[in-house]
Structure 1
Amino acid sequence: MLAAIVAGRQLQATLLIAKPEQLIRNAGFIPALRDRGVDFVCCDMPGTNTLTVGIFALIVQHARETISQRTKAALAVKRVREELSGAHAKLTPNLIAKSLQVRQANADNHP
């Protein structure tokens, strides 16, 4: 993507983006393109401009942050209830204590 931006700027060409999600990694990316003088067109949304894509970027970033917060909160609740399985189960206090006991017993039996 960076190479395309550099080439577009050097050639004064318009950057074609298949989908806006490919262009929007964070909300600050759109103003950075504008400030660098790189024009772009989103093929899925050809009528967009820096304003509309910028607004879309803010919405997408907010949604990503909200999903992350909700996921972390749900995992914390499950961790407290000891309902996690797989790698997350290793994080529960009871399993950590049990692991320490087993390792201590192994160390005591194998000096």
Structure 2
Amino acid sequence: MLDLFLLFRQNTRWGSSNRAFTRWLPADYQDGISRPRGWTPNEKVNGFILPLVREVSNRILAGSNDLESDPNFTHLVTIFGQWTDHDLTFTPHSPVIRSFSDGIDCDASCANTEPCFPIP
């Protein structure tokens, strides 16, 4: 039987606060260094042009409005969403190493200008 007490005693920082997430897969940047995939419009990734993120989420979440709600699952999904949001929201971020030399507000700009990466 696995002794969890011993496991966590040997790895005391697992699950602790103020720790960044562990990267499970290597980073995959468009330029091999720092640009996210999709930065350059119409550039193919594995032979395909990446779709807009908003288009993908709209297609996944599209549905009819005539579905009946199930109160047992609706509340569970809400609680799980809150738990996930709070877990991710309070994860430490690495500091931005690029300067905002042009005074760009990334929340308001749709330009592909570092350090902003807009999701249209």
TM-score class, shorter-chain normalisation, is under 0.3
Larger Rg: 1
Question: What TM-score do you get using the length of structure 1 for normalisation?
Answer: 0.26
Question: What TM-score do you get using the length of structure 2 for normalisation?
Answer: 0.25
Which structure is higher in helix share?
1
Structure with the larger RCO, 1 or 2 (CA within 8 Å, 6+ apart): 2
